Amino acid sequence: MTLSRPAVRELLTRRGLAPRRDLGQNFVADPNTVRRIAHLARVGPGDRVVEVGAGLGSLTLALAERGADVIAIEVDAGLADALREVVADVPNVRVVHADAMELDWQALLGSAGGWALVANLPYNLATPLVADLLDDVPAIERMLVLVQREVAERMTARPNTHAYGAVSVKVAFWADARIVAEVPASVFVPRPNVESALVELVRRQPPAVEAPALFDLVRAAFGQRRKMLRRSLAARVTPEQFAAAGVAPTARPEDLGLDEWVRLTTAVAG
C-alpha cells in the first residue's frame, strides 16, 4: 500500500496542512513512481534505510513494502504527526521528528555501516545535505536521492561540462554517482516548476589525500571559475607546485578532474 494523489490531498485537508514553500515540500503522489524508486534503491528484507523529508509517507510505505527497516525523518511537526498516523500499523518504520542538517547521525545510526539513504529531498536541502553526509557519515554507504534535475547534473558532472563545479568534485571524491532515472513534475503535489531526477551515489575508497585541504583548493578555484588557476590560486599554489603536480597554471578549474586536484593538493602539502 502507498498513497495516491486523492489520499495525499485528503490527508492534508483533514489535518489542516499545506505544502510549505520555505521547506521545499513537494510530495510524490504517484504509487508507481514511489515503487519504482524503492525498486531502484535495491532494498529488501534486512536492509537498513534512512529517509530524509519523509513527508506524508508515500515513499516510506513503498520502502517498507519491500521489507526494509526504515527510519523516516521529517522536520515539519505537522507532517511528522500525519506520518505517524500513516505508518501506525507498519512495524518496520520508525518516525523521527528532526532537522536532518542538525541531527546527531552517529547517535541515530550507530557505528556500523551498511545504511542506505533513499529520499525525495527538498530542493533547498539536497546539495548541502548530500555533501555533509558524504563528508561526515560513512555509515551511509549508498544513496538514492530525488533532486532537481539541475542539481542532479551538478552532482554527476564531469570536467569540461557546463554543470561541473565544486560539488561535482566533492561527490567524485567520495562516491561513484550517476543519474538513474528522470521523474516528471506531474507526479508531485504541488507540481513544481522544474523537472527532477534520481541520483545514485555509491561510496568508494577515497584518494589518499587530506580531504579538507583538497576541498579548500577546489572552493577557492571555483569561487573565481573564469580565472586561470595561477590567478585564483596565486596565494595558495606556487609555480613550482603546479609543475610538480603536472597541472598547467593556465588551466581553469573546470579543466581539472579529480586526479588533477589530488595531485595539486599533494604538491601543495609536500
Instruction: Tell me the CATH number at 165.
Output: 3.40.50.150
- Residue pair 133/52 in contact (Cβ under 8 Å)? The answer is no
Domain region containing 64: 5-203
Return the ∠ at Cα 132 (arms to 46 and 256), rounded to 5°.
115
Do 229 and 185 share a structural domain? no
Q: What is the pLDDT of residue 49?
A: 98
Instruction: Tell me the CATH number at 260.
Output: 1.10.8.100
| Per-residue pLDDT tens over the stretch 152-200 | 999 999 999 999 999 999 999 999 999 999 999 999 999 999 999 999 9
Does residue 2 register a pLDDT over 90? no
The least confident of 108-122, 129-143, 208-222 is 108-122
| Per-residue pLDDT tens over the stretch 26-79 | 999 999 999 999 999 999 999 999 999 999 999 999 999 999 999 999 999 999
Residues whose CB is less than 8 angstroms from the CB of residue 19 and which lie 6 or more positions away in sequence, other chains included: 12, 25, 26, 27, 189, 190
Does residue 131 register a pLDDT over 90? yes
Do 38 and 109 share a structural domain? yes
Read off the amino acid at residue 189. V
Name the domain count of the chain.
2
| Per-residue pLDDT tens over the stretch 216-239 | 999 999 999 999 999 999 999 999
Does residue 1 register a pLDDT over 80? no
Q: What is the pLDDT of residue 67?
A: 97
Does residue 270 register a pLDDT over 90? no
Residues whose CB is less than 8 angstroms from the CB of residue 212 and which lie 6 or more positions away in sequence, other chains included: none
Q: What is the pLDDT of residue 25?
A: 86
d(CA 200, CA 209): 24
Tell me the three state secondary structure of residue 199. strand
How high does pLDDT run on average in the chain?
95
Which of 183, 203, 223 lies at the terminal end of a domain, its last residue? 203
Structure-block grid coordinates of residue 233: 590560486
Distances (CA, A) of 211 to 70, 126, 132, 191, 243: 31, 21, 13, 38, 21
Q: What is the pLDDT of residue 163?
A: 97
